[in-house]
Amino acid sequence: MPELPEVEITRRGITPALINQTIKTVTIRNASLRWPIPKGLDQFLVGQKIEAITRRAKYLLLKCTRGFLIIHLGMSGSLRISFDVTNVEKHDHFDLETSNGAMLRYRDPRRFGTILWSEVEEIAQHPLLASLGVEPLSDAFHGKMLYEQSRHRDLSVKAFLMNHQILVGVGNIYANEALFHAGICPTILAKRISLARYEKLANAIKTTLNAAIDAGGSSLRDFVNSEGKPGYFQQYYWVYGRGDEPCRNCGQLILKIKQGQRSSFYCRHCQK
């Protein structure tokens, strides 16, 4: 699943071609995504101007003249910019063409993604966004915030980091990597971690996410950027997906365990 770095890379990639452009045509080939694409959206969007493109957690928000287009990439979705409206493939479900000839194409083989429309005055109050936690790349995110939020929670630190009502967008890959760089075992209870260790973890999360963005994200299965190119951050994983391989730091074997429905990877020597 695309996580925060992949969604942020997508946002940065599509913005130059779409910002301040007027929507010329919209084509919906398959409206059956996680939630159906609203009926009539292909006609309603025409003539509206794209005024801003922002991100909240893993949601992309295209601010238009009369509201917001809300896009989530789901498990396998991607957005690409093209100036060629032909060459349609099987899983190309949604096209948005602008006045400068740019086309935003949504591709999603598994169809777990989302394309919705909202006219709420404050998009942050939309039901999909209102309960979301802190953005990890914002100034509001720091070790003290994690420490205070964790004091009475009887769950592992890994599950704590992946609770989107506390912290958004980190996801399984980057939680594993950040915990390794902070030297924290993913199974330790969140409430048992000190403020000093949470400060180190917050820095590790920011560093890991920024490094992933710089590397074009992780492409393990379906993710490609707005130019159709994969990321290469997976080449630099320290623990994720490396079960039974030697730790790059100490040489001991990386362990793989199940936490909930997710796999966790860690080094018993380097993470306590």
In order of 25, 171, 234, the CA distances from 220 in angstroms are 33, 14, 7
Catalytic residue, chosen from 2, 5, 136, 186, is 2
Q: What end-to-end distance do the CA atoms of the chain give, in Å?
A: 28
* Measured distance CA(23)–CA(67) in Å, rounded: 13
* Measured distance CA(30)–CA(35) in Å, rounded: 11
Q: Is 245 a catalytic residue?
A: no
Q: Is 191 a catalytic residue?
A: no
* Measured distance CA(216)–CA(218) in Å, rounded: 7
Catalytic residue, chosen from 55, 58, 107, 197, is 58
CA-atom Rg of the chain in angstroms: 20
Q: Is 58 a catalytic residue?
A: yes
Catalytic residue, chosen from 12, 63, 153, 262, is 262
Catalytic residue, chosen from 3, 6, 8, 177, is 3
Give the sign of the dihedral formed by CA 143, CA 147, CA 153, CA 156.
Answer: positive
Q: Is 151 a catalytic residue?
A: no
In order of 110, 139, 235, the CA distances from 267 in angstroms are 33, 30, 18
Closest CA to 8 of 79, 67, 97, 95: 79
Q: Which residues are part of the catalytic machinery? A: 2-3, 58, 262
